[in-house]
Amino acid sequence: MQVHYIPIPVQPFYRNLGFQLNKFPETERYYEEAFSLPLFPTLTSEDVYRVVDTLKNILDKNSA
């Protein structure tokens, strides 16, 4: 699930205004497929390597 980009039609305020996710198919597709990598000011080099290694392991398992 995407945590940084949440489409307007998914947000409760806009849903209450009548926005429907199925009216925005590209938004829905992106929301379902995208993911966020950690990014914050105190991210250390060790953190970056751990994220890269973890992502690489996941991708390697999925390509086998």
Q: What is the pLDDT of residues 32-60, one digit of tens each?
A: 888 888 889 999 999 999 999 999 999 99
Asked whether 9 and 29 are in contact (CB, 8 A), the reply is: no
Asked whether 45 and 35 are in contact (CB, 8 A), the reply is: no
Residues 27 and 44 in one domain: no
**Count of domains in the chain?**
2
Single-letter residue type at 24? F
Angle at the Cα of 38 from the Cα atoms of 52 and 1, rounded to 5 degrees: 100
Q: Which domain holds residue 2?
A: 1-33
Residues 27 and 43 in one domain: no
Residues 26 and 6 in one domain: yes
Q: Which pTM value belongs to this model?
A: 0.58
Question: What is the overall mean pLDDT for the chain?
Answer: 89
Residues 48 and 28 in one domain: no
